[in-house]
């Protein structure tokens, strides 16, 4: 593939050496594709096929992928949904369904805002399927970051970002202080951008709302400010800003003051070279942690090309890059959970899925409200709670001069039999505990807070 259109975009300039190098070669796929259309005898397919009756007692005369008959009783879908390879980028129908889902999650009105939806539909790529959201983060980080280069992330972030970016890729994280009191610290973000822009030709940022570990979701006002800040910075520096939007916890927002959709959509609508990449997945959204199915959706700018046709060609080129990445790391993603996702949407429908999920979300909302209310009652100058209105967690800061987080975690566990995750990274101004209320029943929250209070009193 030539990457005629991709090479002219700021996206390409932002790629790492690996991102520039990787692609999916035609070879086998070209010939297999042609054989499917043109051949009577096909000897291109690298999976064993046979007439079912020839390898299963009492099997049919259908030409099938050979499978072990013993597996059948463990699922209620067709063998064809479990045994064969899926294509490298994922099942086409699942990808199309997820694209519609991404558009639906924009919260736009399908009738009144039809034109805008159509515009966005053109601007986003058809999602490529990844092995979970982590794999999407890994893939995007690798596509953009050379060893030694910077990505900007809040100081309070999922610890696995550090594994991926620092340990695996050998790149660096420029942290910004996430909060100033009860608000996002935009000055610190701006400072980080200014520092990075002085040493490299691209800005790569990763944002995650609702955030792990804090549960922070921007207020509607903050959401606007973040977008304006990025817009201002892009205009000022005239370098591409790639925003990796880690939407793992997207639907779990409990306050109507918070933004009611991913920041992806507002960034997508900007004319500037601010390139949002949406990472989401079935993991939390459809509550299938063990499914390992995620999606990468890029937001493109129409101005990069001359017309809609070129935009489609550009999308094909990007798809080839991402498929080249998948091919070289995992070949393709598992079949069953992709098929399951498809069936949920096609056979059950969005309304049923949402009704089912709302029950879970309401459970979490009740816990969220109670745990915040209970914590607010603790009158202790050595603690503070980070702003939180979504996700699975909240974060309780401890005054590092009085209480070290690891010590506190140990004490809480030994004396009060309460398990939480302490986080102590003093050089990043982090000293506190992450409480996963997603896995604590409402009835236990008062007791949990009581014990935390007792432990605090011991210090």
Binding to its own copies, residues 23-42 (CB under 8 A): 23-25, 27-28, 31-32, 34-36, 38-42
Binding of its own copies at residue 77 (CB under 8 A)? yes
The residues that bridge with 390 in the sheet, in sequence order, are 253
Tell me the closest approach of the beta carbon of residue 370 to its own copies, in angstroms. 13
Q: What is the 3-state secondary structure (H, E, C) of 327-351?
A: HHHCCCCCHHHHHHHHHHHHHHCHH
Considering only residues 7, 60, 62, 71, which one is a binding residue for its own copies as defined by CB under 8 A?
71
SS3 155: coil
Binding of its own copies at residue 92 (CB under 8 A)? no
Nearer to its own copies, 336 or 459 (CB): 336
Binding of its own copies at residue 400 (CB under 8 A)? no
Residues 181-210, interacting with its own copies (CB under 8 A): none
Which tokens is 51 given? 């007439």
Give the rounded distance of the alpha carbon of 457 from its chain centre: 39
Tell me the closest approach of the beta carbon of residue 232 to its own copies, in angstroms. 34
Binding of its own copies at residue 44 (CB under 8 A)? yes
- The stretch near its own copies (CB under 8 A) out of 76-84, 118-126, 218-226, 375-383 is 76-84
Considering only residues 4, 85, 109, 426, which one is a binding residue for its own copies as defined by CB under 8 A?
85
Considering only residues 179, 393, 395, 408, which one is a binding residue for its own copies as defined by CB under 8 A?
393
Considering only residues 114, 121, 170, 195, which one is a binding residue for its own copies as defined by CB under 8 A?
170
Largest CA distance in the chain: 79
Nearer to its own copies, 238 or 331 (CB): 331
Cα–Cα distance between 361 and 351 in angstroms, integer? 15
Nearer to its own copies, 34 or 220 (CB): 34
Distances (CA, A) of 354 to 11, 23, 131, 284: 35, 37, 23, 13
- The stretch near its own copies (CB under 8 A) out of 4-12, 224-232, 258-266, 357-365 is 357-365
Distances (CA, A) of 343 to 178, 288, 354: 40, 14, 15
Binding of its own copies at residue 74 (CB under 8 A)? yes
Angle, nearest 10°, between helix axes 114-123 and 92-104? 130
Binding of its own copies at residue 62 (CB under 8 A)? no
Nearer to its own copies, 129 or 259 (CB): 129
Angle, nearest 10°, between helix axes 186-197 and 220-237? 20
Tell me the closest approach of the beta carbon of residue 100 to its own copies, in angstroms. 18
Which tokens is 408 given? 């506190």
Cα–Cα distance between 293 and 233 in angstroms, integer? 34
Nearer to its own copies, 18 or 116 (CB): 18
CA angle 261, 279, 79 (to 5 degrees): 115
Nearer to its own copies, 304 or 345 (CB): 345
Binding of its own copies at residue 2 (CB under 8 A)? no
Nearer to its own copies, 44 or 180 (CB): 44
Considering only residues 163, 180, 194, 238, which one is a binding residue for its own copies as defined by CB under 8 A?
163
Nearer to its own copies, 167 or 303 (CB): 167
Q: Say how many residues touch its own copies, by CB under 8 A.
A: 118
Q: Under the phi-then-psi rule, with left for phi > 0, alpha for psi from -120 to 50, and beta for the rest, what region is 58? A: left
CA angle 102, 268, 257 (to 5 degrees): 75
Tell me the closest approach of the beta carbon of residue 209 to its own copies, in angstroms. 16
Residues 291-330, interacting with its own copies (CB under 8 A): 291-292, 324-325, 327-330
Which tokens is 430 given? 């982090």
Tell me the closest approach of the beta carbon of residue 373 to its own copies, in angstroms. 16
Considering only residues 123, 146, 155, 160, which one is a binding residue for its own copies as defined by CB under 8 A?
160
SS3 20: helix
Nearer to its own copies, 31 or 232 (CB): 31
Tell me the closest approach of the beta carbon of residue 432 to its own copies, in angstroms. 13
Residues 207-246, interacting with its own copies (CB under 8 A): 212
Close Cβ partners of 323 (under 8 Å, ≥ 6 residues apart): 24, 88, 89, 128
Angle, nearest 10°, between helix axes 445-457 and 350-376? 30
Considering only residues 11, 131, 189, 230, which one is a binding residue for its own copies as defined by CB under 8 A?
131
Distances (CA, A) of 312 to 92, 101, 295, 317: 16, 20, 19, 9
Binding of its own copies at residue 343 (CB under 8 A)? yes
Q: Edge-to-edge, what's the strand order for the sheet holding 394-398?
A: 383-385, 394-398, 430-435, 421-425
Q: What is the CA radius of gyration of the chain?
A: 24
Binding of its own copies at residue 334 (CB under 8 A)? yes
Cα–Cα distance between 192 and 150 in angstroms, integer? 10
Distances (CA, A) of 2 to 19, 87, 128: 14, 21, 20
Binding map of its own copies across residues 412-441, x = CB under 8 A, - = no contact:
-xx--xxxxxxx-----------xxxxxxx
Nearer to its own copies, 193 or 418 (CB): 418
């Amino acid at each position: 593939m030539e990457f005629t259109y991709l090479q002219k975009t700021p996206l390409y300039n932002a790629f790492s050496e690996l991102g520039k190098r990787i692609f999916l070669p035609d070879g086998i796929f070209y010939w297999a594709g042609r054989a499917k259309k043109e051949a009577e005898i096909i000897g291109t397919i690298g999976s064993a096929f046979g007439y079912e009756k020839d390898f299963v007692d009492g099997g049919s005369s259908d030409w099938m992928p050979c499978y072990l008959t013993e597996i059948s009783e463990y699922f209620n879908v067709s063998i064809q949904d479990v045994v064969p390879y899926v294509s490298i980028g994922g099942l086409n129908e699942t990808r199309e369904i997820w694209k519609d889902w991404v558009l639906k999650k924009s919260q736009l009105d399908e009738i009144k805002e039809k034109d805008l939806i159509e515009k966005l539909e053109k601007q986003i790529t058809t999602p490529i399927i990844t092995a979970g959201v982590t794999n999407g983060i890994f893939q995007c980080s690798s596509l953009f970051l050379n060893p030694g280069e910077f990505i900007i992330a809040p100081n309070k972030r999922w610890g696995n970002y550090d594994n991926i970016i620092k340990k695996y890729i050998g790149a660096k994280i420029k942290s910004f202080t996430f909060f100033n009191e009860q608000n996002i610290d935009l000055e610190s973000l701006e400072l980080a951008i200014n520092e990075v822009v002085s040493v490299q030709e691209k800005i790569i940022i990763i944002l995650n709302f609702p955030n792990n570990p804090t549960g922070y979701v921007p207020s509607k006002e903050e959401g606007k400010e973040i977008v304006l800040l990025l817009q201002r910075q892009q205009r000022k520096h005239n370098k591409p800003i790639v925003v990796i939007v880690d939407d793992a916890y997207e639907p779990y927002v409990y306050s109507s003051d918070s933004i009611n959709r991913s920041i992806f959509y507002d960034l997508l609508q900007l004319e500037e070279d601010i390139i949002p990449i949406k990472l989401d997945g079935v993991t939390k959204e459809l509550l299938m942690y063990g499914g390992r199915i995620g999606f990468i959706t890029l937001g493109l700018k129409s101005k990069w090309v001359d017309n809609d046709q070129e935009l489609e060609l550009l999308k094909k080129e990007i798809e080839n890059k991402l498929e080249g990445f998948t091919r070289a790391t995992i070949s393709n993603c598992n079949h069953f959970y992709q098929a399951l996702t498809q069936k949920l949407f096609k056979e059950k429908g969005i309304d049923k899925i949402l009704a089912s999920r709302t029950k879970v979300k309401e459970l979490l909302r009740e816990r969220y409200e109670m745990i915040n209310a209970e914590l607010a009652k603790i009158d202790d100058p050595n603690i503070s709670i980070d702003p939180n209105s979504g996700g699975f967690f909240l974060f309780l800061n401890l005054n590092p001069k009085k209480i070290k987080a690891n010590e506190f975690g140990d004490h809480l566990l030994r004396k009060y039999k309460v398990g939480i995750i302490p986080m102590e990274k003093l050089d990043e101004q982090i000293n506190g505990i992450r409480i996963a209320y997603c896995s604590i029943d409402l009835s236990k929250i008062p007791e949990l807070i009581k014990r935390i209070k007792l432990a605090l009193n011991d210090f």
